[in-house]
Amino acid sequence: MHHVERAIARIAGRQDNVIGRDQLLAAGLNRGAIAYRTHTGRMQRLHTGVYLLGPAPPSQMARARAAALACGTDAVVSHRSAACLFGLLPEIPGDVDITVAGRNPGAHPGITLHRVAELANGDATTMSRLQITTIARTICDLAATESARATEQAFQEALYRRTVTPRALEQILARDPTRRGAPVIRALLEDPRLTRSERERRMLKLIKDAQLPPPLTNVPLYGYEADLYWPAHQLVVEFDGWGAHGHRLAFEGNRKRDQVLVANGIRVMRVTDRHLTNEPIAVAARIAQAVR
């Protein structure tokens, strides 16, 4: 029986503790043993034929993986669920979004199914062996099901992280110009606010016009990349992503970065798009005071 346990552990270990009935049978368990383990709490049934090992609640990735497994091998995590896995939007409780092309896998409680005629080549990628829509496709899908504000937040966060380009969204719209949410995406493309490179150019011009000492840019520093760095003054200026204050992962990541830099004697100043656009003189004044 030990070889059965090892086989189950090996399969589930690659799948965030999620495993399918067919995989359990192939590992050597029979249907009675599967039912017994579910009854005694050694496994949890997440969907028909899909289980989670152990009594702990499933992680976000485990929930997504279980939903995809329940819908078949060609199922793809998409929409809000994909945006959460990419860290573009905060995780919220609710159904897992799954896109399936060309067939109907049937209804599954806890899964919101999105059926499409086909999923274009290049619209899906993998994350830890899980099929998921690309960031560009995810943002376009969000425009059809989420608010314009949530779509904009995801887009701005992806731009800030340099994980998407406006051109990638344009290509999706070109293939399907009448898709749901297309007007929202077009509006974002017409007014993408500031990308990271545009922030940097605007900030450097502001610093030059204010006759402040020029900083180093994009400098590796204690395991992170500092946007602007004045070594002589032990000062770092960081650009905040559009969704940084409303997004748990981004917020926690920024706080950790700040703590590491401060622990090493570096002062950190954060500047947002709004500061840079509406309060440029105040931004320059704060930097001048810091490097005085």
What is the C-alpha to C-alpha distance for residues 19 and 49, in angstroms, rounded to an integer? 9
Domain housing 276: 196-290
Contact 129, 15 (CB under 8 A): yes
* Nearest Cα to Cα of residue 276 among 200, 189, 187: 200
- Please compute the mean of the pLDDT values over residues 2-21 and round it to a whole number: 87
pLDDT for 246: 43
pLDDT for 244: 42
- Please compute the mean of the pLDDT values over residues 61-85 and round it to a whole number: 95
Record the tokens describing residue 109, joined without a space: 């409680």
pLDDT for 65: 96
Residue 239, φ and ψ in degrees, nearest 5: -85, 130
Distance in angstroms between the alpha carbons of the first and the last residue of the chain: 72
Burial class (CB in 10 A: 0-12, 13-18, 19+), 18: buried
pLDDT for 247: 46
Higher pLDDT, 222 or 98: 98
The pLDDT confidence band at residue 272, using thresholds 50, 70 and 90, is confident
Q: Verify that 76 and 26 share a domain, yes or no.
A: no
Share the mean pLDDT of the chain.
Answer: 88
Q: Verify that 117 and 203 share a domain, yes or no.
A: no
pLDDT for 193: 58
Domain limit, last residue, from 53, 74, 96: 53
- Please compute the mean of the pLDDT values over residues 86-114 and round it to a whole number: 91
Query: How many domains, in total, are found in the chain?
Result: 3
Q: Verify that 172 and 154 share a domain, yes or no.
A: yes
**Bridge partners for 268 per DSSP:** 236
* Nearest Cα to Cα of residue 114 among 85, 82, 86, 147: 82
Q: Verify that 129 and 241 share a domain, yes or no.
A: no
**Using CA of residue 30, residue 32, residue 35, residue 38, what is the dihedral sign?**
negative
Q: Verify that 133 and 185 share a domain, yes or no.
A: yes
Q: Verify that 123 and 151 share a domain, yes or no.
A: yes
Q: Verify that 183 and 64 share a domain, yes or no.
A: yes
Contact 85, 60 (CB under 8 A): yes
Q: Verify that 44 and 144 share a domain, yes or no.
A: no
Q: Verify that 35 and 78 share a domain, yes or no.
A: no
Domain limit, last residue, from 190, 223, 247: 190
* Nearest Cα to Cα of residue 270 among 281, 260, 257: 257
pLDDT for 13: 82
Q: Verify that 72 and 170 share a domain, yes or no.
A: yes
- Please compute the mean of the pLDDT values over residues 231-255 and round it to a whole number: 68
pLDDT for 140: 97
∠ at Cα 135 (133, 137), nearest 5°? 60
Q: Verify that 124 and 201 share a domain, yes or no.
A: no
* Nearest Cα to Cα of residue 86 among 220, 267, 249, 209: 249
- Please compute the mean of the pLDDT values over residues 232-252 and round it to a whole number: 66
pLDDT digits (tens, 9 = 90+) for 142-184: 999 999 889 988 988 888 777 998 999 999 999 999 999 999 9
Q: Verify that 77 and 184 share a domain, yes or no.
A: yes
pLDDT for 158: 87
Domain limit, last residue, from 166, 190, 214: 190
37-41, 91-95, 96-100 — which is least confidently predicted? Answer: 91-95
* Nearest Cα to Cα of residue 232 among 249, 215, 208, 250: 215
Contact 266, 235 (CB under 8 A): yes
Chain center to CA of 69: 20
* Nearest Cα to Cα of residue 158 among 142, 173, 171: 142
pLDDT for 69: 95
What is the C-alpha to C-alpha distance for residues 238 and 226, in angstroms, rounded to an integer? 7
Query: HSE of 190 in the Cβ direction (CA atoms, 13 Å)?
Result: 6
The whole-model pTM stands at 0.68
Give the count of beta carbons closer than 10 Å to the beta carbon of residue 61: 18
- Please compute the mean of the pLDDT values over residues 4-24 and round it to a whole number: 88
Residue 242 clears pLDDT 60, i.e. is over it: no
pLDDT digits (tens, 9 = 90+) for 185-227: 998 888 655 556 677 888 899 999 999 999 998 888 988 888 8
CATH at 266: 3.40.960.10
